[in-house]
Chains A and B, each alone.
Chain A
Amino acid sequence: MSNQASALNRGIKFTADGVQNLTIFCIFLMACVVGFILEPKLFFSPSNVTSILVSASSVIIVASAVTLVLISGNLNLSVGGTGAMGAVLFGLMTRAGVPIVLAALLAVVLGLLAGMLCGFIIAQFKLPSFIVSLAFRYITRGIALVGAGGAVIFGLPAGISKIGMTIGSIPLPAVYAIAVVLVFVWIQNKTVFASTAYAVGANEPAAHLSGISNRKVVMSVFAMSGMLAAFVGVVITSRFTAADSGILSTLDNDCIIAAVLGGTDINGGRGTVFGMLMGALFIVVLTNIMNMLGMTTYTQDMVKGVVLIGAILLNNIIRKHVRI
């Protein structure tokens, strides 16, 4: 094959992933256009854009890692609980006078350890990730509830609000979200680790016979998602200067929806962080539009479920027809 021909081929290649990313990107753009038509003055105003980014930030941050969990062929139902645990531990530590940065760091490390333990149990004993992460969902949420006495911890030092504040017109959570997504797009595209995650998710026995350690992969992806979940808990706590044990109750589902919307295969082996980003943004824009239309948040939840089914259907169609 001549170099020219191969270069040409590479120029016009559209893998299933590419088509999927393009599709979700177009859907996202269309949602933006709809939003713009509904509220021409408001929709692209800086305040609306930042509010979109802030409300999407939690899901974007955690789903970055959850996308890798799904790619490796697993499911993590414990990120919401781990986030709440991180928030409460952070609240307790700062209230007890632990320096804010250290407290934040400790909370994030504990989240990481919880995730790592969850991943270890899944890989070591060959258990379904669904059920083990369900157990961790109870345990972590329980720790959060116990720590906060089943409610909200108030009276935290004012200094913690710096972690989640808005500088000028730029909210820090949005900055974190962008940073985390960039890091994870890089991880997903550029690291050996991500390659091994794809291999494990696509064909575990083949990955094993290629010398790839399933345990390393599963432990790492769960550790990452636990870490980021706890981080999100810390950020939310700092924004409210109160640690709420009930936060992030729908995070698990939201992360899965964002990733699946972005073309991640629920059976593993396929998906991109960029697609997830588009999926998460689409959901938030959709929410924004539904707010404009005056729908209640509960109706919006319902729509999310329908969108999830639609996304799976769309993924199936793309997989069937893009045969490259």
Chain B
Amino acid sequence: MRNNKLSRSTQKNLVLFVILLVLCAFFYSQNNRFITVYNLTNMVRQSLPNFILGCGMTFVIASGAIDLSVGGTMALSAMLYGYLCIWGINPWLAVVIVAGFGVVVGIFNTVIMEKLQIPAIMATLATWIITAGMAMSVCKAIPITGPELKPITVLNSIKFGKIPLALPICIVVIAVFLFLEKKTILGKYAIAIGGNDAAAHFSGINVTKMRACFFVLTGVLAGLSGVWQVARLGSADPTIGTGMEFKVVAACILGGVNIKGGEGTVSGVMIGTAILIVLTNGMQMMDIGSFYQDIATGLVLLASVLINSDSVGELMGKKAAA
């Protein structure tokens, strides 16, 4: 009898998806170059880090924490990658080393959060400041370039017909995370820890270990995002992560992740990320100054957090009942 009823998160995701379609239709009506293979794939190419970081951040926020250090980690990873290549290390081995660096950052975040017993927001804020500062200081704020960075840019230039490699990468990453969410303990435990950490603890879940897993996930993804930006730009730029942490968090909130934990889906966050990106890109194509994008992002974030809040929900429920 209840099998045809959709779960609440699926309903939310459907609403978000409809909003995404409406936005796309609107921008298409304003400028029909909006929906072209080139533009759509280009959006993915530019925003690949937003998508893949969103996947990891879903787990972190759903488990009741937050990771503000991703922007800094991303920038520092890009620098690290650049230097590794210049030092003559095989560019593909360098990718693995950078991923390992992401693991270290994740563990560092967990250690200061647990040892100092401070909220995740403060712990990762400190990491953010340190990593972002380090990224800028190693290169004195000047992007590093060189022929050694050439091999990795192949990731950006490969195309299958009209489709750039970014699209399959994005799809594979999302698929992997959907799998992690639905089929492995990672997804279940994130929701359990964020929703009721006493229950999680009593069920024998090692909460600290799981937290470390989630932070390591975002750390590794931030590292790989840094590498991707090197591939896309052909240089290692220490400013590539600026503002990234908040863009990703905003996409998570918009995608229905509860900022207090216990709720959130990868699919929702992906739609949320897509909405923010379509909004940015569409406004650009309408020749609305790119400066309006920040205002739009802020308003969308505010609206989504208001709609998801209990007290507003209560109010709306009451109106519906009356």
Direct contact of A and B (CB under 8 A): yes
Q: Tell me the minimal C-beta distance from A279 to chain B in angstroms.
A: 15
Are A142 and B298 neighbours in the complex by a CB distance under 8 Å?
Answer: yes
> B205-229: which residues lie under 8 A (CB-CB) from chain A?
none
Are B133 and A299 neighbours in the complex by a CB distance under 8 Å?
Answer: yes
Are B294 and A130 neighbours in the complex by a CB distance under 8 Å?
Answer: no
> B278-322: which residues lie under 8 A (CB-CB) from chain A?
289-299, 301-302, 305-306, 309-312
Are A75 and B291 neighbours in the complex by a CB distance under 8 Å?
Answer: no
Give 1 or 0 for each of A250-288: 1 = CB within 8 Å of chain B CB.
Answer: 000100110010000011000000000000000000000
Residues of A within 8 A of B310 (CB): 126
Are A316 and B117 neighbours in the complex by a CB distance under 8 Å?
Answer: yes
Measured CA separation A245–B289 after assembly (Å): 14
Are A142 and B137 neighbours in the complex by a CB distance under 8 Å?
Answer: no
Are A145 and B294 neighbours in the complex by a CB distance under 8 Å?
Answer: yes
B260's nearest neighbour on chain A, judged by CB, is A128
Residues of B within 8 A of A257 (CB): 129
Are A130 and B298 neighbours in the complex by a CB distance under 8 Å?
Answer: no
Q: A131-B253, A135-B305, A138-B301 are in contact. Are A302 and B134 (CB under 8 A)?
A: yes
Residues of A within 8 A of B311 (CB): 124-126
Are A135 and B127 neighbours in the complex by a CB distance under 8 Å?
Answer: no
- Contact among A143, A150, A253 for B125, CB-based, below 8 A: A253
Are B140 and A131 neighbours in the complex by a CB distance under 8 Å?
Answer: no
Count, A-B residue pairs, CB within 8 A: 137
Q: A308-B129, A316-B117 are in contact. Are A142 and B295 (CB under 8 A)?
A: yes
Are A137 and B298 neighbours in the complex by a CB distance under 8 Å?
Answer: yes
Which residue, of B116, B122, B260, has the highest number of chain A Cβ atoms within 10 A?
B122
Measured CA separation A134–B293 after assembly (Å): 15
Measured CA separation A128–B253 after assembly (Å): 12
Tell me whether chain B's interface is mostly helix, strand or loop, or mixed. Answer: helix
Measured CA separation A146–B289 after assembly (Å): 7
- Contact among B253, B259, B292 for A142, CB-based, below 8 A: B292
Measured CA separation A140–B291 after assembly (Å): 11
Measured CA separation A266–B125 after assembly (Å): 12
Are B140 and A296 neighbours in the complex by a CB distance under 8 Å?
Answer: yes
B126 an interface residue at 8 Å Cβ cutoff? yes
A198 an interface residue at 8 Å Cβ cutoff? no
Residues of B within 8 A of A143 (CB): 295
Residues of B within 8 A of A52 (CB): none
Give 1 or 0 for each of B120-135: 1 = CB within 8 Å of chain A CB.
Answer: 0110011111111111
- Contact among B135, B289, B301 for A131, CB-based, below 8 A: B301
Q: Can you offer 22 A-B residue contacts whose CB atoms are under 8 A?
A: A125-B309, A126-B311, A128-B259, A130-B121, A130-B259, A138-B295, A139-B295, A139-B302, A142-B292, A142-B296, A142-B298, A253-B129, A296-B136, A298-B136, A298-B137, A299-B133, A301-B132, A302-B129, A305-B129, A306-B126, A308-B126, A312-B118
Q: Which 7 A-B pairs have the closest CB atoms?
A: A138-B298, A302-B133, A142-B294, A301-B133, A298-B136, A305-B129, A142-B295
Instruction: Given contacts A149-B289, A308-B122, A309-B126, list 11 more A-B pairs with CB under 8 A.
Output: A128-B260, A132-B305, A134-B249, A138-B246, A139-B302, A143-B295, A145-B294, A149-B291, A266-B119, A267-B119, A312-B126
